[in-house]
Structure 1
């Protein structure tokens, strides 16, 4: 009986140990607090197990043993969130050097952005999309539009043919610019809806917000034409000839009817149209910070001097216009904040996007400014992070793969030194980035950033 009892005890110990051993994983991120974005709960003191490009388990630290061959990543008590999405990004065209293209893609990734939606497509971007998917370059997942539909359309039939061509080429969606006539826009929308390809971006002046919503435009970027939609009496509007003060409807601010904000937000929600506010672009161009002050931000060391000087000149031109006043600019910026918050409250989907590289928006870094401006508009830090995680996954139809930290999801995650739910500025306290199961440490990030900065010294 004694021998049998001893055998059972030894056997039980062996089974218990072997049940803890997880052999079939590649990496484990240990000693982290997980903000899964499935809810607002912070899962304290966790380990995240990864195999290839997938999350296998999220467990309490020390709950299981892993093989010695597994790569261990010490989270040092940091906070793990899902990878962020920049939903109004720009990828340089094939006219740029490949070195610069690679640098821009890295800047996104280094800032915890594991998905980008390229808003000015180029045939090269289709190749980059595949190279990124195969881990052949340091890059987020890429979704790309085709070349834009602007004022270069010669006929409705040409517009339809371009829709068919871009759909056949494999672009993810169509990018609408200002310029198309109402007839051309309707042709684009009709053909796109028939082909099953999305169209997004600006709303041409000839179209207006209501028609864009009716036509099924998938996203509206920059809150384009929302200010115009709030003007109920246009008879008193003074004619403005110089576009220097026509900044997404800024000159119309004194004429808007605030009672309509809720109405247009509800219209947007009912149309299931998403918005990418790019509030950082407006705040940087029209806000009180001087262009010289903005250009002294640390991230500007990663941009070519010529580009930064052009940005300085652009802001000087806009704010130096005789029709520009700081009072008008602040009224306009507050109006945008109110529209953004009301869209959120109406359950009209918001997507994180800053428009980079663009005036004072350095790729990657500008998304963290955007998160801050979203919180300043009235959303909580958790709600702001949703616009860059859960919401893009829903918009892209990828909720089974992305948006939260959970078993079976793609291993796209950002390790932060501080809790972003306490202070949204902590979203930039990046200690490492995991993209498609690949680990990019802070040391690697800093080394590559130093190499980029050295090019522009």
Structure 2
């Protein structure tokens, strides 16, 4: 586009800039578009009705752009924002939605602009509607229905009925938990495929990783089932002695079995939600009292933190989390994570929040740190939180990148996140649905939430 056309375009933008309130202009930014690794330097982004209408290079020939509502990035970077694809939204409590709404702000304040809630409740459907309408500020929300597990599923026929009911209720996804039998799993799979609703979750012991992949699990949460699939065929698992997630059996793993499982995942198009931070914090050997003191715990109710402490301490007292057992297991998980990733199995960013010592939004940055320490590149980490989740939902043409025609959902930070992952921990502001929320507003909401949960001296 020559300089005359650029001038005409910008003149048109300025003439019409605030004819409608749904328009916005962000200028003087560098764009980490995630459409490849190149950073677009010195750009302006023109937004109309929540979508990116134009991306305009700023050159010596570009006229000065000004508006009373102009968002001047002053050389900051913008990227598509992060997705937390294993969240556990709080449920409404007798009409009280405070914790739900606070969770929404905790995500936004950490640059999380989309979540997939993986343990559904009818109140989440109402929350999604309020967020989508703009009544409740928050990231865009996808909701799994109530879990399919050994208590909720009683037969293949009842399982199929449950799938149909959740689809009709408006859930976006199905969540599988332990206890589902193999014949029930096949019926869940068959019905879900007929209705076009994705499913994923834990791998029930009676199903196993090969059948889970074969049935069409869209996502394997926590990399569950892989270790069991790598154990000797004649090894009998005794859950009473094998520890959480059978971590005490890690010494029996036969890694030579992994390539076959990887090929199955690639053939099926299965994604992995690794939740490295859940295992580092909940099932790791670092004591519960140390995590109790983490600074972000001040944003959640004290009774919830105490529940988490009690749950972890119970395992500590039973000797399940001794370092001699846990350290080899965590090392195995890091190795498994990288083997899957480097083989091309797509990863979706997931931290399991709010769960034990994982505070909404903040836990994503713990997940990012662990992904980096395992060996994943900064670009691939960002991709797992943007491009891959969009593909997962079949919406890669709508979001996940900063491109013309896509959703105006992005985060502004001081430095280039492809070089500095820590910069994402302190957004200068977020653009969500074409609406700008400044860093000052995000901090004010954090301060308000902290005050709501002040501990008594």
The answer, yes or no, to whether TM exceeds 0.5 is yes
- Gap runs ≥5 in structure 1: 1-12
Alpha-carbon RMSD across the aligned residues, in angstroms, is: 2.1
Displacement of 1:138 in angstroms is 0.6
With over 3 angstroms needed to count, the CA separation of the structure-2 counterparts of 1:148 and 1:352, relative to structure 1, is same
State whether residues 262 and 342 of structure 1, in contact with CA within 8 Å, keep that contact through their aligned partners in structure 2.
no
Question: 1:127 corresponds to which residue?
Answer: 126
Structure-2 separation of matches of 1:168 and 1:53: 28
State whether residues 382 and 421 of structure 1, in contact with CA within 8 Å, keep that contact through their aligned partners in structure 2.
yes
Question: 2:112 corresponds to which residue?
Answer: 113
Question: 2:215 corresponds to which residue?
Answer: 215
Aligned residues: 442
Question: 1:104 corresponds to which residue?
Answer: 103
Structure-1 separation of matches of 2:213 and 2:162: 22
Question: 2:20 corresponds to which residue?
Answer: none
With over 3 angstroms needed to count, the CA separation of the structure-2 counterparts of 1:240 and 1:391, relative to structure 1, is closer
Does structure 1 residue 439 correspond to structure 2 residue 439? Answer: no
> Cα deviation per residue 1:38-82 (whole Å; 9 max; x = unaligned)?
111122222222122011222223664577546211223221110
Does structure 1 residue 180 correspond to structure 2 residue 177? Answer: no
Question: 1:84 corresponds to which residue?
Answer: 82
Question: 1:148 corresponds to which residue?
Answer: 147
Displacement of 1:246 in angstroms is 2.5
Question: 1:334 corresponds to which residue?
Answer: 331
State whether residues 55 and 410 of structure 1, in contact with CA within 8 Å, keep that contact through their aligned partners in structure 2.
yes
User: Which has more radius of gyration?
Assistant: 1
Does structure 1 residue 452 correspond to structure 2 residue 427? Answer: no
Question: 2:304 corresponds to which residue?
Answer: 307
> Cα deviation per residue 1:277-301 (whole Å; 9 max; x = unaligned)?
1111001123343322222222111
Structure-1 separation of matches of 2:68 and 2:208: 56
Question: 1:415 corresponds to which residue?
Answer: 412
Q: Equivalent of 1:47, from 44, 49, 74?
A: 44
Question: 1:3 corresponds to which residue?
Answer: none
Displacement of 1:259 in angstroms is 2.0
With over 3 angstroms needed to count, the CA separation of the structure-2 counterparts of 1:31 and 1:181, relative to structure 1, is same
Q: Equivalent of 1:343, from 340, 343, 360?
A: 340
State whether residues 214 and 264 of structure 2, in contact with CA within 8 Å, keep that contact through their aligned partners in structure 1.
no
Displacement of 1:253 in angstroms is 0.3
Question: 2:196 corresponds to which residue?
Answer: 196
Does structure 1 residue 20 correspond to structure 2 residue 10? Answer: yes
State whether residues 200 and 220 of structure 2, in contact with CA within 8 Å, keep that contact through their aligned partners in structure 1.
yes
Question: 1:284 corresponds to which residue?
Answer: 281
Question: 1:9 corresponds to which residue?
Answer: none
State whether residues 286 and 319 of structure 1, in contact with CA within 8 Å, keep that contact through their aligned partners in structure 2.
no
- Gap runs ≥5 in structure 2: 18-22
- TM-score normalized by the length of structure 2: 0.92
- TM-score normalized by the length of structure 1: 0.92
Moved more, 76-85 or 400-409: 76-85
Question: 2:168 corresponds to which residue?
Answer: 168
